[in-house]
Structure 1
């Protein structure tokens, strides 16, 4: 496979992973997988959360793609899977740096004052404004809508009785 084809597969996979992450967050983590995700929405002083198990699932997917790229397809391997595994790995690194590092400040303290970093932090704070798995906004991890639009969505959800907000966040 040419280096350009491999790079293309990696980039498409990284971009597609935001959609996969959004859907997984909305329909799995805030659905039947709430048992693992709940503690992420609750205050605690623990270094780890059950929610961190989702990172292990992501790593297992990446490793499985690497393995299939090497040994899958009746032992012959399927090279594109290797590059898809690299894309999943890169998305995981980006997610970890932004979500765990910047947003939740698990490793460093930095409060962005403007730009993309401020927007992504605000969007995630609005995601955490809800008290339960129902309703909510901003299920993506790297792409975020404007905070004003998210606040309006939360306000509509609250007025419709679909969601309870923490300390009247909106």
Structure 2
């Protein structure tokens, strides 16, 4: 049962990520997200990196209170959120944006699809324009670009 909770939360986080990215990060918290699009920050960190802290706090709180009650469902919800956050960091910051050079020359169709969709998202520098707000699941046209071997 605990694995099912973790799996469901992980999947729901993709929906939450789309919503948060489109309406919050490109909305009232654009002030934190803007430097991720226009590369106006200097140094290794961006204001956008605060989102890792913002999203980690609820996960930590859930795991803490869930651990107090014999590792109840709250703990496993927190684990699901944390695993999604770890996946996001690995794929977004390390793979897509190459903060650490890794898998730079991959030929994996899935990874190429999400990288391409993310590049499409970043071609828009403004707050209002945009597309591809998802993360692990992007519009099907990007998957077709790399999974269709006949092209």
Normalised by the shorter chain, which TM-score bucket?
0.7 to 0.9
Asked if 2 retains the 8 angstrom alpha-carbon contact of 1:101 and 1:108, the reply is yes
Q: TM-score by structure 1 length?
A: 0.77
CA distance in 1, matches of 2:7, 2:14: 12
Distance 2:11 2:88 in 1: 12
Unaligned runs of 5+ in 2: 145-151
Structure 2 residue 52 is the aligned partner of structure 1 residue 58: no
If the length of structure 2 is used for normalisation, what is the TM-score? 0.86
Give the greater-gyration-radius structure (CA): 1
Determine the C-alpha separation between the residues in 2 that align with 1:64 and 1:148.
36
Distance in 1, Cα, partners of 2:85 & 2:46? 17
Contact 2:110 2:143 in 1 (8 A): no
Q: Taking CA–CA contacts closer than 8 Å with sequence separation of 6 or more, which of the two structures ends up with the larger relative contact order?
A: 2
| 1:41 lines up with 2:37 in the alignment | yes
Unaligned runs of 5+ in 1: 150-170
The offset of 1:77, in angstroms, is 6.9
| Alignment coverage as a number of residue pairs | 141
Residue of structure 1 aligned with 2:113, choices 101, 116, 119: 119
